[in-house]
Amino acid sequence: MKKLINTPENYVDEVLAGMQAAHPETYRIGGATGRMLHRPAPVPEKVGVVSGGGFGHIPVFAGYVGDGLLDACAVGDVFASPDMNPMLESIQFADQGRGVLCVVGNYGGDRMNFDMACEMAEMDDIEARKVIVADDVAAAGPDEAEKRRGVAGFVFVTKIAGAAAAQGKTLDDVVAVTQRAADNVRSVGVALSSCTVPQAGKPTFEIADDEMEIGMGIHGEPGVRRGKLRPVDEITDEMIDMLLADKPVEAGGRIAVLINGLGATPIEELYLVFRQAKARLESAGAVIAMHLVGNYATSMEMAGASISVLHLDEELETLLTAPANCPFWKV
């Protein structure tokens, strides 16, 4: 393992301290466990929006605390769910009397602990609701969509939730539009190399230098196909084919596209993916209303990329393009 760290056991806490030191106008460490990252002060008279999950995916999850995004986020160890306590602390921080929405990736630990945190919040007379993000088409077929992992589509869903809350919508309305975003986003990725969790000290999985794996999850979960590395246009075509097979675009249908780097892939290569993805999606009749290219949901130093497509309606597009600001994304 070759990393710029001190000790593995202090890795997460020291990174959080660095984020607060670099961006004190946005991030503050809070909670009894020191594993909640939140805005400097809660925003009054709006629905709170929080999330939480394992570390190692920056900006997901905690990086998206900011204006028009998350109010607070619970932070776990690398690739490990936070426990219930920082989740409850996040809900308590964000609550301003109008309820709190929890945007949750579809992972067993995250769901279970947010279930408990929401139950505990109800005992404090805080209404806390959940929207589950399950956008990875490689993880399960359409008939078992509830089993899909939450991956980079979380970025779009969080933006929708934060914007809806910032506009003063009720909790019911924020939940409804956020759920609609979650229902209409699809993602798939390709991994070219493994990554190393500091506490483990060795690669999460093995893959040959001349191999790739289509559909691998952001923690190294198995994909749908491993094979020899191919030209980027062919790889992009395979991923676009999977996305369109799962949810086709209609002629003139407006979409948002995220070409996401997993941590170690140069931005130049992500632009190659976008070039081909744009051509394929437009040839299928789609209108790309917004696009993002960069590292928006990483997996430590894994090499590879993912493509996310959010199918838009008028309200979703308005919320997606509404102002937002955090150190990793400004709209």
d(CA 154, CA 62): 12
CA dihedral 112, 14, 7, 201 (to 10 degrees): 50
d(CA 86, CA 73): 8
Catalytic residue (choose from 23, 219, 291, 311): 219
Is residue 178 within 8 A of residue 101, CB to CB? The reply is yes
For residue 83, give the nearest of 144, 152, 153, 33 by alpha carbon: 33
One DSSP character per residue, 56-91 reads SSTTTTGGGBSBTSBSEEEEEEETS---HHHHHHHH
β-partners of residue 53 are 75
38 is catalytic: no
Tell me which amino acid residue 186 is. R
Q: CB 208: neighbour CB atoms within 10 A? A: 10
Q: CB 51: neighbour CB atoms within 10 A? A: 30
d(CA 244, CA 249): 7
Can you point out the beta strands (E) in 79-161? Answer: 100-105, 128-133
Catalytic residue (choose from 23, 38, 57, 311): 57
End-to-end CA, the chain:
37
Q: CB 232: neighbour CB atoms within 10 A? A: 16
57 is catalytic: yes
| Cα dist from 204 to 22, 49, 317, whole Å | 30, 32, 37
Catalytic center residues: 57, 219
